[in-house]
């Protein structure tokens, strides 16, 4: 079940980044019901998947440098 929890959390994080409403790392941790340490782990995981993410002090939110979103699906071969 841990994998599903992580996947759902990453989807939620992606949504919050796209909507520019993550808040500060501590606010984001509360929104995702995780520790701040896990916020940084999840951000790094998205970066490893190719997302270019930065924290904007002006909007107080994590943002994508380029438009995009997390996309996972099962494809029939």
Report the chain's mean pLDDT, rounded to a whole number: 91
C-alpha distances out from residue 49 to 20, 27, 46, 75, Å: 19, 24, 5, 19
List, in order, residues 6 or more apart from 43 with CB less than 8 Å away.
13, 53, 62
For residue 37, what pLDDT is reported? 96
Residue 26: pLDDT over 90: yes
Tokens for 15?
A: 């949504």
Specify the fold of 2-64. Arc Repressor Mutant, subunit A (1.10.10)
For residue 70, what pLDDT is reported? 83
- H-helix segments, 19-61: 25-32, 36-48
Query: The whole model's pTM is what?
Result: 0.87
Break the chain into its structural domains and give their ranges: 2-64
Rounded Cα distance, 43 and 53, in Å: 8
pLDDT tens digits along 48-74 = 999 999 999 999 999 999 888 887 766
For residue 21, what pLDDT is reported? 95
């Amino acid at each position: 079940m841990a994998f599903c929890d992580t996947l759902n959390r990453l989807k939620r994080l992606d949504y919050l980044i796209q909507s520019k409403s993550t808040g500060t790392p501590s606010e984001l941790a509360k929104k995702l019901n995780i520790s701040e340490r896990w916020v940084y782990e999840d951000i790094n995981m998205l970066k490893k998947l190719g997302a270019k993410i930065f924290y904007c002090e002006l909007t107080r939110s994590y943002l994508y440098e380029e438009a995009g979103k997390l996309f996972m699906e099962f494809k029939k071969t």
